[in-house]
Amino acid sequence: MGMSIKKGDTVKILSGKDRGKQGTVLRAYPAEGKIKVEGVQMVKKAVRPNQQNQQGGIVSQEAKIDASNAMLVCPKCGAATRVGHKQGELDGKRTKIRVCKKCGHEF
């Protein structure tokens, strides 16, 4: 089964050095089962001078984490929750809709 976390979702980190933090998903990598979360798993990277960064040097940026180490936060009840799926219709087409297992809210 694929990932139920998408770009723009708010997630809570379950394990690792950033356990307990919440952040927004910047990018999802479904083929790898990984995500990048804002402010989580920060790493230092040496960058050569270029057009955007004239100075170069060492910059901090987010690294990928495994999607299984993050749990989706429901926008309605605000709790970290498991994600269920149900069949629904969007613009006349049948599609899978993500559902909060705690309160039943669709997102």
Whether the pLDDT of residue 13 is over 60: the answer is yes
Whether the pLDDT of residue 90 is over 90: the answer is no
Phi, psi of 103 (to 5 degrees): -115, -10
The residue behind tokens 């180490």 is 69
CB 62 within 8 A of CB 37: yes
Closest to 64 measured CA to CA, from 80, 3, 98? 3
Look up the pTM and report it: 0.84
Using pLDDT thresholds of 50, 70 and 90, give the confidence band for residue 88.
Answer: confident
For the chain, domains (ranges, CATH) are: 1-73 (2.30.30.30), 74-107 (no CATH)
Using pLDDT thresholds of 50, 70 and 90, give the confidence band for residue 53.
Answer: confident
